[in-house]
A and B are shown apart, each in its own frame.
Chain A
């Protein structure tokens, strides 16, 4: 994590440097940031500690007692992780999750970026109304869509196919994607597009040469949200891919492992952490994209 803080661009250095004279006065700031981080981490810390505790202790004592007596015998174990990792088809489920998640992230971003650009900068009839409808669709509860969509899939032989679930995640993710990207793209300076038009650039060129590079932070932000949503999704995967071993994704596999009646916290916690690893890596990678985007932003102004 410290590594990601290193490539600080000049713009940011300048911003932070501006605060230097206030170093002493900024002590409350530092303390409050520390408090916020502690508060936000505490619940997750409980998850982490629980996942490496002896399962027999989990329901009889609080997780912090393990931290207070770290050297007690039989306090720590990795068996929870072993159980989860060693169960049938986890590797397969992991690959399936990647197959489902990556296109389900890239496709909606691409489609939404084009649409958001058009809504923001390409005049055409009815775009105000269309945009309002798109935003309004944010409210459609996903549960209401499942059965009608599955009916279409059943007729089109898309049930249980990766193509089907990409399209579903794309459809469900589009309103938020368009909404967020529109908000960003519409605030780009007008002069950029005017000078591009004078240079004879088409809308397609304006989009690929101006909008995309400048929108990296917004694209990155949405990419993270969509990635997380798809990666952690259970319901849509269960409905459109089904629970079969061939196609099941990580959350489905974990859910089936954990069980309803015999389920236990020790596997839940370990499983939750295993699923978190990939999203965390993605977030840390895209953090850099944010920083790069800041540089672009400072150039524009």
Chain B
């Protein structure tokens, strides 16, 4: 555990590297005018099912070179796979992911060129919300997929402890891997063992808003907490509700958005060291700093008229539809003005594209914008991030090759081209991100941060991080924040004994 925490702070330095080039080339953090209508088009294929085959859907829109790394790649099996004799032609590699819909299409496109180039058949098992359940059953039942993606490092280490995960350091250059994934590799590293390959990164410190409506009302994007509160008050005074908040959902995932809120505020008030101590429970939930963070979040969530529909809406509204009130009269008369949600959010969640599957008419950067979560303590300019990590569960040469491919920037290139993903590999060329509004904002945010904290609930023990922290936050919201002390005590009480 301690090992992991140290690396979390290293995370700070490094996720930024992956986007730094992009950020430095665009000094103005003000979103808006310049961005091309880039992001909308690619995820448009959303309506297509998360089909199990790697459909070459990107090929039509992507005249640029196939997303395949150049030999030598630095990885043995990968070089072999790309060799002229195509030694792995006809072999099948299965990979289980949680991505379906637009994300599923994008991931399929990410591996399609490689599948064509090597003749390896890449079978994508997209499971959606039952991903973790089915994965655990398959792993412990002895019929695992060859590869699997997971968003949380905690279960990866848990599988590793049971000997179910292959140590990628045994067949990949550990130094190269660590150097290229400096921010995230530490989360799955134990001594000389590396239990996973970070694949896709997301920035969580983002607030989505209607650009033109802001301009029409003369609202300015807030950069400090006080400005944020002032803006919220102003919107209330103008007769509207500033915030759309959903605790998450539907069903089983309810709660994660609230923990993101708290984590964000902890990072921005107490700093990274405190944050990491909190993850390891050296700082308890009943600590004053955490209490203060809950109070600050409560200010947003529970101030009358701040949240559209009040605190009942927070727990009763589906995450998929929570921002719909913003789109009233084509974004001209938003019923709510801001939503804090990570960078994986996008046009495929906007009301029109969500139901039609056709590209949204609302353009990112023109109609809908993203601004960084405002600074609270100027000394604590940290942001929150998350990452999806690849586990190798079956060791065969062709599986190694695919895993190594996904470790390279090319492994996610077509998803980046779709304007919707950030590679966890820091050697990803900065110009790949050029033109994609969302990715530019993400880069700017990461670039301006002093440190990046990984999603705390994903690092806490499952009992807390996927359990009481979620459920108690929901209870807290459901009660309008009146039971903070009881909630914090309940979370502390649930922390597993060592």
A and B touch in the complex (CB under 8 A): yes
B interface, size bucket: 35 or more
Whether A262 and B52, one on each chain, are in contact in the complex, defined by CB atoms closer than 8 angstroms, is: no
Partner of B101, one of A56, A149, A248, A259: A259
- Mask, B298-335, CB within 8 Å of A = 1, is 00000000000000000000011100100000000000
Contact between chains at A263 and B142 (CB < 8 Å): no
Q: Mark B353-374 against chain A: 1 for CB-CB distance below 8 A, else 0.
A: 0111100000000000000000
A: interface residue count bin:
35 or more
Given contacts A55-B355, A147-B140, A238-B130, contact A244 B349 (CB under 8 A): no
Q: Is A88 an interface residue (CB 8 A)?
A: yes
A244 to B122 CA separation, bound complex (whole angstroms): 11
Whether B49 pairs with A262 at a CB distance below 8 angstroms is no
Per the 8 Å Cβ criterion, residues 139-183 of A in contact with B are: 146-151, 153-155, 159-160
User: Chain A residues near B320 (CB, 8 Å)?
Assistant: 261-264
Interface string of B400-434 (1 = CB under 8 A from A): 00000000000000000000000000000000000
CB < 8 Å neighbour of B49 from A150, A159, A257: A257
Give bound CA distance, A234 to B43, whole Å.
27
B455 within 8 A of partner (CB): no
For B137, the chain A residues whose CB sits under 8 A away are: 146-147, 150, 239
Complex Cα–Cα for A155 and B355 (A): 44
Task: Pick from A60, A147, A253, A261: contact of B141, CB below 8 A.
Answer: A147
Which B residues are in CB contact (< 8 Å) with A44? none
Q: Considering only CB atoms, which chain B residue lies closest to A238 in the complex?
A: B134
A282 CB-CB contact with B under 8 Å: no
Whether A243 pairs with B125 at a CB distance below 8 angstroms is yes
Residue of B nearest to A146 (CB): B137
Name the residue of chain A whose CB is nearest to the CB of B43: A262
- Which chain A residues numbered 245 to 279 have a C-beta less than 8 Å away from chain B? 245, 248, 253, 255-264, 266
CA separation between A58 and B356, bound complex, in Å? Answer: 12
Q: In the assembled complex, which residues on chain A have CB atoms less than 8 Å from the CB atom of B104?
A: 256, 259
Residue contact B351 to A155, C-beta cutoff 8 Å: no
Chain B residues with CB under 8 A of A148: 141
A41 at the interface (CB under 8 A from B): no
B126:A262 contact, CB within 8 angstroms = no
Check A205 for interface membership: any CB of B closer than 8 A. Answer: no
- Smallest Cβ distance from B22 to chain A, in angstroms? 25
Instruction: For A238, list chain B residues within 8 Å (CB).
Output: 127, 130, 134
Evaluate whether A259 and B352 lie within 8 angstroms (CB atoms) in the complex, with A154-B141, A235-B130 already known.
no
CA distance A56 to B51 in the complex (A): 25
Residue in chain B with minimal CB distance to A259: B101
When the two chains form their complex, are residues A245 and B354 in contact, meaning their CB atoms are under 8 A apart? no
Most buried by B among A159, A238, A255, A256: A256
Do residues B51 and A245 form an inter-chain contact, with CB atoms below 8 A?
yes
Task: Pick the contact of B53: A56, A245, A264 (CB < 8 A).
Answer: A245
Interface: A87 (CB within 8 A): yes
Is there contact, CB below 8 Å, between B351 and A56?
A: yes
Contact indicator per residue, chain A 203-233, by CB within 8 Å of chain B (1) or not (0):
0000000000000000000000000000000
CB-defined contacts of A58 to chain B, threshold 8 Å: 355
Tell me if A74 counts as interface (CB < 8 A to partner B).
no
Which chain A residues lie closer than 8 Å to B47 at the CB level? 83
| Complex alpha-carbon distance, A266 and B320, angstroms | 13
Interface residues of B in 73-103 (CB under 8 A from A): 94, 96, 98, 100-103
CA–CA, A266 to B142, complex, Å?
37
Contacts of B142 in A (CB 8 A): 150-151, 154-155
**Is residue B266 contacting chain A, with contact meaning CB distance below 8 A?**
no
Chain A residues whose C-beta falls within 8 Å of the C-beta of B130 in the assembled complex = 234-235, 238, 255
B48: Cβ under 8 A from any A Cβ: yes
- Other CB < 8 Å A-B pairs besides A87-B51, A242-B143, 15 of them? A58-B355, A60-B324, A83-B357, A87-B48, A150-B137, A150-B142, A235-B130, A243-B52, A243-B126, A245-B123, A248-B52, A256-B50, A260-B100, A261-B100, A264-B355
Q: Which residues of A contact B (CB under 8 A)?
A: 55-56, 58-60, 83, 87-89, 146-151, 153-155, 159-160, 234-235, 238-239, 242-245, 248, 253, 255-264, 266
Q: Which chain B residues have a beta carbon within 8 Å of chain A's beta carbons?
A: 46-53, 94, 96, 98, 100-104, 123, 125-130, 133-134, 136-138, 140-143, 319-321, 324, 348-349, 351-352, 354-357
Selected A-B contacts with CB under 8 Å, 28 pairs: A56-B355, A58-B355, A60-B324, A146-B141, A148-B141, A150-B137, A153-B141, A154-B142, A154-B143, A239-B134, A243-B52, A244-B52, A245-B123, A255-B130, A256-B128, A258-B100, A259-B104, A259-B128, A260-B101, A261-B101, A261-B319, A261-B348, A261-B349, A262-B100, A262-B101, A262-B320, A263-B101, A264-B355
